[in-house]
Structure 1
Amino acid sequence: MSFTRTLRAVGGVVVAGALLFGAAPTASADQFRDMQWPLSPKSFKAEDIWKVSTGKDVTVAVIDDAINGSHPDLSGNVLPGKNFIAGGRGDQADGTSDHGTAMAAIIAAHGHGPGNADGVKGLAPDAKILPVAYPVVGDGVGHVGLGGAIRYAVDNGASVINMSIAPPFITDSAKEAVAYAVQKNVLIVAGAGNDGAGKLSALAAAPGVVAVGAVDKAGQVWDKSNWGSQLMLTAPGVSITSASASNADPYVQGNGTSDATAYVSAAAALLRSKFPDLTAGQIANRLVKTAGLPPSKAGLTLPDPHYGYGFIRPLRALTQDIPAGSKNGPLKMPQADPSATASGASSAGASGDQASGQKSSGIKPMLLVGVGVGVLVVIGIIVLVVVRQKKNGRNGPPPGGFGGPGGPGGPAGPGFPQQPANPYQQQPNGPGAFPPPPNQYPGQ
């Protein structure tokens, strides 16, 4: 059992994603729906969201514990997936941990009963879940670790990867896999951690990852939500009701940046369904530019270490007129993964083989002679031109300064054109700030 999985088993809430598991309150199924405050008219306005997008045709990979795909609120929305821990499928939870099932339900549960009015419902109820059960640490130590799990998710159709986890470190293999996902246009979302510390989990802090913190019903940051300069967004993560892996006790309630991460992944699924041509970075851009803050925090300089750019407001992200922006949006790009560009690697390898096969400089004597003759010819032409210019009195620079029109002193001004400033560095209180301070939270 890996380090992170051990912490999950002891105490229930130690690392990002661990739920505060307890006995589910005695209630009918529809009362569990009522307990899902993020979906309410005072928060996300889920019923209005589902008129615009339900996450249809989008696959979200949940890299976590195995998922109970037969749960009545998830049945039909969970793909077989893969279990990198015990082998076999990822949709057959053994009932020892509810975590993966809870995250899947926050994203894509559809409820059950007449009109699916009973049980819990996810924010993107028509999205598909690709369950990827995995060991957190130990890449290359007798089993496939996080890097292999990420690559499996990318190669099997996921356009969003939810990682409500906090491994104590990430290996080079995992970093390369994150870069691979980014190059394949897959959005990766990870939890900041549940220690209340000023340091994000190693995974959330990695370039290319959307790092998520947790807020409560009032939009205030949860006191155990980790924080830091890499934090990008926050989302509901306090008193979250979701599905359990157990058929005997089918619902659980908990707190954590795990739950917040799942809500951000679900919002991304809604956006990827409505805007299939946007890149992963442009999806993150819509979430960031429509994020909000509680009224008491309206003057914060963004991104703020505790809030990032603010808490997600999915309805605004779906409906506001927002320019697509740059390909990468607010994402910091990881180093390129060579395996994602096989053709480029092949061409580089070919040139490398050619170079290694030459023991000397590779310049043949006859080539040197030809180069020398060419230089002499060019010098002769230059001398001839200079002599003629002196005779005709044409020694000045061309109109518009050196280099012709557009050179120094010309219409284009000095030097090269200036690049536009990075919009993600603007301050929230200035003209054109990114994003503008919101008016309220909860709500849209």
Structure 2
Amino acid sequence: MVTSARSRSVFISLILILLLALLASCSGRLRLPRLIGKKETFASGRILIKFNAGSSSVSMAEMAKKFDLRPSSISCGAVHIHSVRPGTELEAAEVFTLDPAVDYAEPDFLIFAAADAGTPDDPFFDKQWALAKIEAESAWKVAAGSNVTIAVIDSGVDLDHPELAARVVEGYDFVNGDSQADDDYGHGTLVAGVAAAAANNDVGIAGLAWNARIMPVKVLDGQGQGVSSNLTCALYWAADRGADIINISIISFGPSFGMQSAINYAANEGALIFSAAGNLFEEGNPVTYPAAHDNVIAVAATDKDDAHAWFSSAGAFVDIAAPGVGIYSPFPPTHDEYRSVYGTSLATPHGAGLAALVLSAVPSLSSEEVEKIIQQSAVDLGEAGKDDKFGHGRIDASAAISLTLSSLPVQLLLPGVNAPVPTETPTAAPSPVSETPPTPTPGPTPTPGRQQS
């Protein structure tokens, strides 16, 4: 994560590289590609504009006439969404950006779920190799995420799923404009399950932070697609409602002033933000956002052998790595279906879940301190030190909790260290896999379900 101390000029240079440096010499128009791989980069017929205070109504009227500009709605952070003639999005954004009445203007970048789904399989805790790899069982002796809220900004969450229902708090659906952030795609439920699925409930799996609260915020539709303006609003919404940690297993292809402003707002409110690095390593490895924005922890994926996952995007923006191959999690609409999935979408909630464990162990820690603990306790992989594929390394829950506790005053009684009673007292805490793992009671065998693209 690069802090907000990075100058605004650096970020402006990124926007200019994307939106201005690629001007076509013959026409003067921006040549941001409409497609990267098979993904469109921005929404057709709409741009986002933030006007400066006291903007000239004359200049605004002139530009509105030129581009057939029509106010569509007001987004968050004083950013207006405007409709323009399809095909003029980039030229309009360029012209508006150069006008002194405008703080910035940009396309409404498209956002996408950052995971691919595999086939369903039996829901057993002992199939969760990732929890054993990062030594979650040791961390659970001290903390399991109590009193920590993780906002999952995604496609919503299956609100009635037995693994998640007891963990869910108030959410919001920015796609349909209501408070029922239910999941009609499946991606958000998978992500939430990795972060905080219930344990010791005789069902399915255990989330890494199985006592944390889940705040579902829906910005992706039933096809796993959305727009950056809704993601921007979701960040403000989650921060204003006290999210301690924000998980964004979503990618887009453009640096956005509006999104960066929302990220900065959430970070200033104390939220720690995790975002998927992307699954495009073998497809040109483009830089993805919001992972590459300031004040975001970008998460890459590893496999069972601690190798860089073949799909995981790499770059200087990667901060940490976490398991992201063959990850079991619940999948709607039935409550007995689990899927083995892969993607940085699944690596990201491992990072968010670990942050919840650290914060629940010592609630007084700042988000910066939690981030530092996660980085310093990570297992260094690949090249020595921080590198493009693993960042600071693969997360280690046991080491992170040990490092957390080692910084506390000696006289403080530490559960599991110098005090006999653990802070978390579940009915039957998950035991290490090598001993007696929590085993769900036999239920209906999951049947093949929808395949997620």
Q: TM-score range by the shorter chain?
A: 0.5 to 0.7
Structure-to-structure mapping, 1:272-287, within 5 angstroms: 272-287=359-374
Contact 1:74 1:108 in 2 (8 A): yes
SS of the aligned residue for 1:247 comes to coil
Matched AA of 1:159: D
Task: Decide which of 160, 177, 186 is 1:98's aligned counterpart.
Answer: 186
Query: Which residue of 1 is the match for residue 331 of structure 2?
Result: 244
Distance 2:227 2:131 in 1: 38
Name segments (4+ residues, structure 1) moved above 6 Å: none
For 1:153, which of 227, 233, 238 is the aligned residue?
238
Instruction: Kindly state the Cα deviation for residue 17 of structure 1 after the two structures are TM-superposed.
Output: 4.6
Largest Rg, 1 or 2: 1
Post-superposition shift, 1:184?
A: 1.1
Q: Partners in 2 of 1:35 and 1:138 — Cα distance?
A: 35
> What 5-or-longer segments of structure 1 have no aligned partner?
9-14, 325-442
Partner-residue secondary structure (3-state), 1:232: strand
SS of match in other structure, 1:194: coil
1:368-407 alignment to 2 at 5 Å? none
Q: Per-residue displacement from partner, 1:251-299 (whole Å, max 9, x unpaired)? A: 11111111110100000011111121111111010001010035xx4xx
2:301 aligned with 1:214: yes
Work out whether residues 19 and 253 of structure 1, in 8 Å CA contact, stay in contact via their aligned partners in 2.
no
Show CA shifts across 1:390-441 (max 9, x none).
xxxxxxxxxxxxxxxxxxxxxxxxxxxxxxxxxxxxxxxxxxxxxxxxxxxx
Give matches, 1:408-427, under 5 Å. Answer: none
Partner of 1:35: 127
Q: Which residue among 153, 163, 166 is the counterpart of 2:251?
A: 166
**1:208–1:322 CA distance, 2 compared to 1 (3 A):** farther
Corresponding position of 1:305: 388
- Structure 2 counterpart of 1:309, which letter? H
Partner of 2:272 in structure 1?
Answer: 187
Q: How does 1:102-181 map to 2 (within 5 A)?
A: 102-111=190-199, 115-135=200-220, 138=227, 145-181=230-266
Please give the secondary structure, in 2, of the residue aligned with 1:110.
coil
CA drift of 1:322 comes to 5.5
Distance 1:243 1:108 in 2: 11
C-alpha distance in structure 1 between counterparts of 2:117 and 2:293, whole Å: 29
C-alpha distance after superposition, 1:215-254 (max 9, x if no partner) = 0011111011111112110000011110112216521111
Q: Matches of 1:180 and 1:235 in 2, distance apart? A: 26
* TM-score, length basis structure 2: 0.62
The answer to whether the 8 A contact 1:231-1:305 is kept is: yes
| Contact 1:241 1:254 (8 Å CA) reproduced | yes
Is the alpha carbon distance of 1:47 and 1:138 closer, same or farther for their aligned partners in structure 2, counting shifts above 3 Å? closer
Distance in structure 1 (CA, Å) of the matches to 2:125 and 2:112 = 24
Deviation at 1:44?
2.5
Query: What secondary structure sits across from 1:21 in the alignment?
Result: strand
Q: Partners of 2:155 and 2:360 in 1: how far apart?
A: 26
Asked if 2 retains the 8 angstrom alpha-carbon contact of 1:191 and 1:211, the reply is yes
Structure 1 position 104, deviation (Å): 0.4
Report matched runs for 1:357-372 at 5 Å.
none
Output the amino acid matched with 2:125. Answer: R
SS in 2 for 1:189: strand
Question: Which AA in structure 2 matches 1:38?
Answer: A
Deviation of 1:61 after TM superposition, in Å, equals 0.3
Kept in 2: contact 1:79–1:91 (CA 8 A): no
Q: 1:84 aligns with which of 149, 163, 174?
A: 174
The verdict on how the C-alpha distance between 1:100 and 1:90 changes in structure 2, with shifts beyond 3 A counting, is farther
Q: Specify the alignment match of 2:140 in structure 1.
A: 50
2:163 to 61, 70, 73: 73
Higher percent of residues as strand: 2
Question: Does structure 2 conserve the Cα–Cα contact (< 8 Å) formed by 1:63 and 1:163?
Answer: yes
* Structure 2 alignment gaps of length 5 or more: 1-34, 41-110, 409-433, 435-453
Distance 1:226 1:292, change over 3 A: same
Give the root-mean-square deviation of aligned CA atoms: 2.6
Report which of the two has the higher share of helix. 1
The change in CA–CA distance for 1:175 and 1:133 in structure 2 (over 3 A counts) is same
